Structure 1
Amino acid sequence: MLAGVGHIRVLASDDWQTATPKSSVGCLDMHGKLVMDSGSGTECGVFERMPSFPYTLSTQMGNCTFENEKAEKNTDSHYGKGDLAWSCGEHKADIYDELYTVTGFPYIFLCSGDIACYYDAKRAPTKPNDALSLWQFHWGTQQMGITPGHVQLQLMWEKIGDNPKRSQQQANDIPGPRVQITPGMQMPLRGTKSKV
Protein backbone atom coordinates (compact mmCIF):
# COMPACT_ATOMS: atom_id res chain seq x y z
CA MET A 1 0.00 0.00 0.00
CA LEU A 2 1.22 3.48 -0.86
CA ALA A 3 0.98 5.28 2.47
CA GLY A 4 3.14 6.59 5.26
CA VAL A 5 6.79 7.48 4.79
CA GLY A 6 9.27 5.69 2.61
CA HIS A 7 12.10 5.68 0.12
CA ILE A 8 11.56 5.67 -3.64
CA ARG A 9 13.74 3.02 -5.28
CA VAL A 10 14.57 3.45 -8.97
CA LEU A 11 14.61 0.31 -11.11
CA ALA A 12 16.03 -0.15 -14.62
CA SER A 13 12.93 -1.59 -16.29
CA ASP A 14 10.83 -1.50 -19.42
CA ASP A 15 8.43 -4.23 -18.20
CA TRP A 16 6.62 -4.12 -14.85
CA GLN A 17 6.07 -7.90 -15.02
CA THR A 18 9.80 -8.65 -14.75
CA ALA A 19 10.98 -5.72 -12.62
CA THR A 20 12.16 -6.59 -9.11
CA PRO A 21 14.07 -4.78 -6.35
CA LYS A 22 17.20 -6.48 -7.77
CA SER A 23 16.80 -4.17 -10.81
CA SER A 24 17.58 -1.16 -8.61
CA VAL A 25 19.99 1.45 -9.98
CA GLY A 26 19.54 3.88 -7.09
CA CYS A 27 16.90 5.92 -5.32
CA LEU A 28 15.49 9.44 -5.28
CA ASP A 29 17.09 11.87 -2.86
CA MET A 30 15.36 14.61 -0.84
CA HIS A 31 15.56 16.95 -3.86
CA GLY A 32 13.95 14.35 -6.17
CA LYS A 33 17.20 13.52 -7.98
CA LEU A 34 18.29 10.00 -8.96
CA VAL A 35 21.29 9.05 -6.82
CA MET A 36 23.35 5.95 -6.02
CA ASP A 37 22.31 3.91 -3.01
CA SER A 38 25.15 2.41 -0.98
CA GLY A 39 22.70 -0.10 0.48
CA SER A 40 22.19 1.74 3.75
CA GLY A 41 19.53 4.07 2.35
CA THR A 42 21.28 7.14 3.77
CA GLU A 43 21.45 8.76 0.32
CA CYS A 44 17.72 8.22 -0.26
CA GLY A 45 15.21 10.92 0.54
CA VAL A 46 12.47 10.22 3.05
CA PHE A 47 9.15 10.84 1.29
CA GLU A 48 5.84 11.28 3.06
CA ARG A 49 2.53 10.70 1.33
CA MET A 50 0.12 13.47 2.27
CA PRO A 51 -2.59 11.88 4.45
CA SER A 52 -5.33 14.03 2.90
CA PHE A 53 -6.20 15.58 -0.45
CA PRO A 54 -4.27 15.94 -2.77
CA TYR A 55 -2.35 12.83 -1.51
CA THR A 56 0.98 13.99 -2.94
CA LEU A 57 4.54 13.25 -1.85
CA SER A 58 6.92 15.57 -0.05
CA THR A 59 10.37 15.54 1.56
CA GLN A 60 12.01 17.86 4.07
CA MET A 61 12.72 20.14 1.07
CA GLY A 62 9.01 20.53 0.26
CA ASN A 63 6.37 19.17 -2.10
CA CYS A 64 7.39 17.02 -5.08
CA THR A 65 6.22 17.69 -8.64
CA PHE A 66 6.94 17.42 -12.35
CA GLU A 67 5.73 21.05 -12.71
CA ASN A 68 8.65 23.06 -11.29
CA GLU A 69 9.52 25.56 -14.05
CA LYS A 70 13.08 25.80 -12.69
CA ALA A 71 13.72 22.06 -13.12
CA GLU A 72 15.80 20.66 -15.99
CA LYS A 73 13.95 19.91 -19.24
CA ASN A 74 14.33 16.64 -21.15
CA THR A 75 15.66 18.33 -24.29
CA ASP A 76 16.96 15.02 -25.76
CA SER A 77 13.46 13.54 -26.02
CA HIS A 78 11.42 13.99 -29.21
CA TYR A 79 8.07 13.98 -27.40
CA GLY A 80 9.17 14.97 -23.91
CA LYS A 81 11.43 17.92 -24.76
CA GLY A 82 9.20 20.25 -22.76
CA ASP A 83 8.96 17.89 -19.78
CA LEU A 84 10.29 19.13 -16.46
CA ALA A 85 12.27 16.90 -14.11
CA TRP A 86 10.81 15.59 -10.84
CA SER A 87 11.85 17.88 -8.01
CA CYS A 88 11.00 18.54 -4.39
CA GLY A 89 10.96 22.04 -2.97
CA GLU A 90 8.78 25.08 -2.48
CA HIS A 91 5.65 24.23 -4.49
CA LYS A 92 1.92 24.31 -3.79
CA ALA A 93 0.87 20.71 -4.36
CA ASP A 94 -2.25 19.81 -6.33
CA ILE A 95 -3.83 16.55 -7.47
CA TYR A 96 -1.77 16.53 -10.69
CA ASP A 97 1.38 16.06 -8.59
CA GLU A 98 0.12 12.76 -7.16
CA LEU A 99 2.01 9.53 -7.73
CA TYR A 100 -0.09 6.40 -7.24
CA THR A 101 0.09 2.65 -7.67
CA VAL A 102 -2.08 0.13 -9.51
CA THR A 103 -3.78 -2.83 -7.83
CA GLY A 104 -2.23 -6.08 -9.05
CA PHE A 105 1.37 -4.94 -9.41
CA PRO A 106 3.82 -7.40 -7.82
CA TYR A 107 5.46 -4.44 -6.02
CA ILE A 108 4.34 -0.90 -5.22
CA PHE A 109 5.35 0.69 -8.53
CA LEU A 110 4.56 4.38 -8.80
CA CYS A 111 2.65 5.86 -11.73
CA SER A 112 1.83 9.44 -12.65
CA GLY A 113 -0.76 11.17 -14.80
CA ASP A 114 -2.75 8.92 -17.13
CA ILE A 115 -1.36 5.51 -16.08
CA ALA A 116 2.22 6.46 -16.94
CA CYS A 117 4.35 4.01 -14.97
CA TYR A 118 7.74 4.46 -16.67
CA TYR A 119 10.30 7.21 -16.38
CA ASP A 120 13.30 8.55 -18.30
CA ALA A 121 16.82 9.52 -17.18
CA LYS A 122 19.98 10.26 -19.13
CA ARG A 123 21.72 7.35 -17.40
CA ALA A 124 21.92 5.47 -14.13
CA PRO A 125 24.12 6.98 -11.41
CA THR A 126 27.65 5.52 -11.38
CA LYS A 127 29.41 7.73 -8.81
CA PRO A 128 28.47 8.68 -5.25
CA ASN A 129 28.14 12.37 -6.17
CA ASP A 130 25.83 11.79 -9.19
CA ALA A 131 22.45 13.54 -8.85
CA LEU A 132 20.50 12.99 -12.07
CA SER A 133 17.19 14.35 -13.34
CA LEU A 134 14.21 12.04 -13.79
CA TRP A 135 11.38 12.76 -16.25
CA GLN A 136 8.10 11.16 -17.24
CA PHE A 137 8.47 8.78 -20.19
CA HIS A 138 6.74 9.91 -23.39
CA TRP A 139 6.62 8.13 -26.71
CA GLY A 140 5.08 8.39 -30.16
CA THR A 141 5.50 7.23 -33.75
CA GLN A 142 8.83 9.04 -34.17
CA GLN A 143 10.21 7.74 -30.87
CA MET A 144 8.56 4.47 -29.84
CA GLY A 145 10.96 3.62 -27.03
CA ILE A 146 13.06 5.45 -24.51
CA THR A 147 14.93 8.57 -25.57
CA PRO A 148 18.04 7.38 -27.49
CA GLY A 149 20.99 7.10 -25.11
CA HIS A 150 18.76 7.32 -22.03
CA VAL A 151 17.59 4.61 -19.62
CA GLN A 152 13.97 3.57 -18.99
CA LEU A 153 13.03 3.30 -15.33
CA GLN A 154 10.30 2.46 -12.86
CA LEU A 155 9.79 3.87 -9.38
CA MET A 156 9.08 1.55 -6.44
CA TRP A 157 7.79 2.60 -3.02
CA GLU A 158 9.65 1.15 -0.04
CA LYS A 159 7.69 1.96 3.10
CA ILE A 160 9.83 2.69 6.14
CA GLY A 161 7.18 3.99 8.55
CA ASP A 162 3.71 5.37 9.12
CA ASN A 163 2.49 8.94 8.94
CA PRO A 164 2.47 10.47 12.40
CA LYS A 165 -0.78 9.98 14.37
CA ARG A 166 -2.71 8.12 11.67
CA SER A 167 -4.73 4.99 12.04
CA GLN A 168 -4.43 2.12 9.57
CA GLN A 169 -8.11 2.60 8.65
CA GLN A 170 -7.43 6.21 7.62
CA ALA A 171 -4.57 5.01 5.42
CA ASN A 172 -6.84 2.40 3.82
CA ASP A 173 -9.45 5.07 3.06
CA ILE A 174 -7.15 7.13 0.81
CA PRO A 175 -8.72 7.19 -2.64
CA GLY A 176 -6.66 6.62 -5.76
CA PRO A 177 -7.20 5.82 -9.42
CA ARG A 178 -9.48 2.84 -9.87
CA VAL A 179 -7.11 0.75 -11.98
CA GLN A 180 -6.55 -2.94 -11.40
CA ILE A 181 -4.31 -5.42 -13.21
CA THR A 182 -5.61 -8.95 -13.70
CA PRO A 183 -3.83 -12.04 -15.09
CA GLY A 184 -3.54 -11.99 -18.88
CA MET A 185 -4.29 -8.28 -19.11
CA GLN A 186 -2.32 -6.49 -21.83
CA MET A 187 -1.82 -2.95 -20.59
CA PRO A 188 1.42 -1.20 -21.50
CA LEU A 189 1.17 1.33 -18.64
CA ARG A 190 3.28 3.75 -20.64
CA GLY A 191 0.88 6.66 -20.46
CA THR A 192 -0.73 8.34 -23.39
CA LYS A 193 0.88 8.56 -26.79
CA SER A 194 2.07 12.07 -27.57
CA LYS A 195 0.08 14.01 -30.16
CA VAL A 196 3.10 16.09 -31.25
Structure 2
Amino acid sequence: MDQDNRQTSLLLYNFLQCSSNDVFQTELKELGNELTRVVLQGGRLEDDYELQTDGNRCYFQMREEGELDSEGQEEIIRNIAIKLAQIGDEMEDSIQPNVVNDLISWLRNVNLPTEEKRRHLAATMDKVMQTQTISQDLGQEKAKLLLTMLLAKKVMTHAPSLLRSIFYITVDYINQNLLTYTRNLTHDMD
Protein backbone atom coordinates (compact mmCIF):
# COMPACT_ATOMS: atom_id res chain seq x y z
CA MET A 1 0.00 0.00 0.00
CA ASP A 2 1.60 3.27 -1.05
CA GLN A 3 1.85 6.37 1.13
CA ASP A 4 -1.17 8.10 -0.45
CA ASN A 5 -3.41 5.06 0.04
CA ARG A 6 -2.23 4.74 3.64
CA GLN A 7 -2.99 8.37 4.41
CA THR A 8 -6.37 8.33 2.69
CA SER A 9 -7.32 5.03 4.36
CA LEU A 10 -6.26 6.42 7.71
CA LEU A 11 -8.22 9.64 7.14
CA LEU A 12 -11.40 7.83 6.11
CA TYR A 13 -11.09 5.19 8.84
CA ASN A 14 -10.67 7.81 11.57
CA PHE A 15 -13.51 9.89 10.10
CA LEU A 16 -15.77 6.85 10.37
CA GLN A 17 -14.50 6.08 13.88
CA CYS A 18 -15.67 9.54 14.94
CA SER A 19 -19.19 8.57 13.93
CA SER A 20 -21.67 8.12 16.71
CA ASN A 21 -23.41 5.54 14.56
CA ASP A 22 -23.12 2.09 16.11
CA VAL A 23 -24.72 0.32 13.13
CA PHE A 24 -21.46 -0.39 11.30
CA GLN A 25 -18.93 -0.22 14.15
CA THR A 26 -18.51 -4.02 14.27
CA GLU A 27 -17.79 -4.13 10.54
CA LEU A 28 -15.48 -1.13 10.88
CA LYS A 29 -13.51 -2.87 13.62
CA GLU A 30 -13.15 -5.92 11.35
CA LEU A 31 -11.93 -3.63 8.57
CA GLY A 32 -9.43 -2.15 11.00
CA ASN A 33 -8.11 -5.63 11.72
CA GLU A 34 -7.90 -6.28 7.99
CA LEU A 35 -6.03 -3.05 7.36
CA THR A 36 -3.40 -3.98 9.94
CA ARG A 37 -2.08 -6.48 7.43
CA VAL A 38 -1.47 -5.14 3.96
CA VAL A 39 -0.57 -7.25 0.97
CA LEU A 40 2.23 -5.49 -0.87
CA GLN A 41 3.13 -5.95 -4.51
CA GLY A 42 5.09 -9.12 -4.92
CA GLY A 43 2.76 -11.02 -2.62
CA ARG A 44 4.75 -10.23 0.54
CA LEU A 45 2.72 -9.75 3.69
CA GLU A 46 3.92 -7.01 5.99
CA ASP A 47 2.52 -5.08 8.93
CA ASP A 48 2.22 -1.44 7.91
CA TYR A 49 -0.24 -0.42 10.59
CA GLU A 50 -0.61 -1.14 14.24
CA LEU A 51 -4.13 -0.95 15.62
CA GLN A 52 -4.20 1.23 18.72
CA THR A 53 -7.00 2.03 21.11
CA ASP A 54 -7.57 4.97 23.40
CA GLY A 55 -10.35 3.31 25.37
CA ASN A 56 -13.20 4.33 23.08
CA ARG A 57 -11.83 4.45 19.60
CA CYS A 58 -9.43 2.51 17.46
CA TYR A 59 -6.97 4.14 15.14
CA PHE A 60 -3.97 3.22 13.07
CA GLN A 61 -0.46 4.12 13.92
CA MET A 62 1.55 4.06 10.72
CA ARG A 63 4.91 2.40 10.93
CA GLU A 64 7.25 3.07 8.08
CA GLU A 65 10.97 2.90 7.65
CA GLY A 66 12.42 6.26 6.79
CA GLU A 67 9.42 8.18 8.12
CA LEU A 68 10.81 10.81 10.46
CA ASP A 69 7.81 11.04 12.74
CA SER A 70 5.12 8.52 11.82
CA GLU A 71 3.39 9.01 15.17
CA GLY A 72 3.18 12.75 14.50
CA GLN A 73 1.85 12.17 10.97
CA GLU A 74 -0.74 9.70 12.25
CA GLU A 75 -1.81 12.17 14.94
CA ILE A 76 -2.16 14.94 12.35
CA ILE A 77 -4.35 12.76 10.15
CA ARG A 78 -6.48 11.69 13.12
CA ASN A 79 -6.97 15.34 14.15
CA ILE A 80 -7.97 16.27 10.59
CA ALA A 81 -10.49 13.40 10.55
CA ILE A 82 -11.98 14.54 13.86
CA LYS A 83 -12.40 18.11 12.59
CA LEU A 84 -13.92 16.89 9.33
CA ALA A 85 -16.33 14.63 11.21
CA GLN A 86 -17.48 17.57 13.34
CA ILE A 87 -18.18 19.65 10.24
CA GLY A 88 -19.73 16.63 8.55
CA ASP A 89 -22.22 16.15 11.37
CA GLU A 90 -23.76 19.48 10.37
CA MET A 91 -23.88 18.53 6.66
CA GLU A 92 -25.01 14.92 6.95
CA ASP A 93 -28.70 15.58 6.30
CA SER A 94 -27.91 17.37 3.05
CA ILE A 95 -27.38 14.05 1.24
CA GLN A 96 -30.74 12.86 -0.04
CA PRO A 97 -31.83 9.29 0.90
CA ASN A 98 -32.70 8.44 -2.73
CA VAL A 99 -29.08 9.17 -3.75
CA VAL A 100 -27.81 6.81 -1.05
CA ASN A 101 -30.33 4.09 -1.98
CA ASP A 102 -29.38 4.34 -5.66
CA LEU A 103 -25.69 3.97 -4.84
CA ILE A 104 -26.41 1.00 -2.56
CA SER A 105 -28.28 -0.71 -5.42
CA TRP A 106 -25.27 -0.29 -7.70
CA LEU A 107 -22.83 -1.52 -5.09
CA ARG A 108 -24.92 -4.61 -4.33
CA ASN A 109 -24.73 -5.74 -7.96
CA VAL A 110 -22.09 -8.48 -7.69
CA ASN A 111 -21.86 -8.76 -11.48
CA LEU A 112 -20.76 -5.14 -11.82
CA PRO A 113 -16.98 -4.67 -12.11
CA THR A 114 -15.31 -2.52 -9.45
CA GLU A 115 -14.36 0.08 -12.06
CA GLU A 116 -18.04 0.55 -12.95
CA LYS A 117 -18.87 0.95 -9.26
CA ARG A 118 -16.15 3.63 -9.04
CA ARG A 119 -17.65 5.44 -12.03
CA HIS A 120 -21.07 5.33 -10.41
CA LEU A 121 -19.65 6.78 -7.17
CA ALA A 122 -18.07 9.59 -9.22
CA ALA A 123 -21.38 10.27 -10.99
CA THR A 124 -23.19 10.21 -7.65
CA MET A 125 -20.68 12.68 -6.21
CA ASP A 126 -21.20 14.99 -9.20
CA LYS A 127 -24.93 14.86 -8.49
CA VAL A 128 -24.43 15.52 -4.77
CA MET A 129 -22.09 18.46 -5.44
CA GLN A 130 -24.64 20.05 -7.81
CA THR A 131 -27.33 20.00 -5.13
CA GLN A 132 -25.16 21.54 -2.41
CA THR A 133 -24.77 25.14 -1.46
CA ILE A 134 -21.15 25.34 -0.39
CA SER A 135 -20.14 28.13 1.96
CA GLN A 136 -17.06 30.05 0.94
CA ASP A 137 -15.52 29.28 4.32
CA LEU A 138 -15.67 25.58 3.56
CA GLY A 139 -14.32 25.66 0.02
CA GLN A 140 -15.12 23.38 -2.91
CA GLU A 141 -12.44 20.71 -2.36
CA LYS A 142 -13.04 20.41 1.37
CA ALA A 143 -16.78 20.15 0.74
CA LYS A 144 -16.20 17.45 -1.87
CA LEU A 145 -13.98 15.48 0.52
CA LEU A 146 -16.52 15.80 3.32
CA LEU A 147 -19.48 14.86 1.16
CA THR A 148 -17.59 11.87 -0.26
CA MET A 149 -16.85 10.55 3.23
CA LEU A 150 -20.40 11.32 4.39
CA LEU A 151 -21.83 9.44 1.41
CA ALA A 152 -19.65 6.44 2.28
CA LYS A 153 -20.82 6.68 5.89
CA LYS A 154 -24.48 6.76 4.83
CA VAL A 155 -24.00 3.70 2.61
CA MET A 156 -22.36 1.88 5.53
CA THR A 157 -25.18 2.91 7.86
CA HIS A 158 -27.90 1.62 5.53
CA ALA A 159 -25.97 -1.41 4.25
CA PRO A 160 -23.17 -2.43 6.68
CA SER A 161 -22.39 -5.47 4.52
CA LEU A 162 -21.05 -3.06 1.87
CA LEU A 163 -18.55 -1.45 4.26
CA ARG A 164 -15.38 -2.92 2.72
CA SER A 165 -16.54 -2.29 -0.81
CA ILE A 166 -17.52 1.34 -0.29
CA PHE A 167 -14.46 1.96 1.91
CA TYR A 168 -11.98 0.92 -0.79
CA ILE A 169 -13.94 2.55 -3.60
CA THR A 170 -14.07 5.78 -1.58
CA VAL A 171 -10.32 5.68 -0.89
CA ASP A 172 -9.71 5.24 -4.63
CA TYR A 173 -12.13 8.05 -5.48
CA ILE A 174 -10.45 10.44 -3.03
CA ASN A 175 -7.00 9.53 -4.35
CA GLN A 176 -8.11 10.03 -7.96
CA ASN A 177 -10.00 13.28 -7.42
CA LEU A 178 -8.69 14.97 -4.28
CA LEU A 179 -5.14 13.71 -3.83
CA THR A 180 -3.43 17.09 -3.99
CA TYR A 181 -5.96 18.51 -1.54
CA THR A 182 -5.55 15.66 0.96
CA ARG A 183 -1.76 15.86 0.70
CA ASN A 184 -1.95 19.59 1.38
CA LEU A 185 -4.25 19.00 4.35
CA THR A 186 -1.70 16.84 6.08
CA HIS A 187 1.25 19.07 5.16
CA ASP A 188 -0.53 22.28 6.19
CA MET A 189 -1.16 20.92 9.69
CA ASP A 190 2.33 19.44 10.00
Whether the TM-score (by the shorter chain) exceeds 0.5 is no
TM-score, scaled relative to structure 1: 0.24
TM-score by length of 2: 0.24
Higher strand share: 1
